[in-house]
Amino acid sequence: MATQGRTQRATTNAGTFSLHHLAPEVFGGFEETPAGLRLATTEKALFDFAYLAAGRSRLFATLPELELPRGFKESEARRWLRKIPSARSRTLTDARLTSFLTRARAAAGTDR
By CB atoms closer than 10 A (0-12, 13-18, 19+), residue 56 is exposed
Q: What percent of the chain has pLDDT over 70?
A: 96
Q: What is the pTM of this model?
A: 0.83
Instruction: Indicate if the pLDDT at residue 60 is higher than 80.
Output: no
pLDDT at 112: 54
Is the pLDDT confidence value at 33 over 80? Answer: yes
Q: Which regions of the chain does DSSP assign to beta strands (E)?
A: 2-3, 8-12, 15-21, 30-32, 38-40
Answer whether residue 5 shows pLDDT above 80. Answer: no
* CA atoms within 13 A of residue 79's CA, in its CB half-sphere: 11
| Predicted local confidence at residue 87, as pLDDT | 95
Domain count, the chain: 1
DSSP state of 69: P
**Do 18 and 1 contact (CB within 8 A), yes or no?**
yes
Per-residue pLDDT band for 47 (boundaries 50, 70, 90) equals very high
Contacts of 43 (CB under 8 A, 6+ apart): 29, 72, 73, 74, 76, 77, 80
Mean pLDDT, the chain, integer: 88
**The domain containing residue 9 runs over which residues?**
2-108
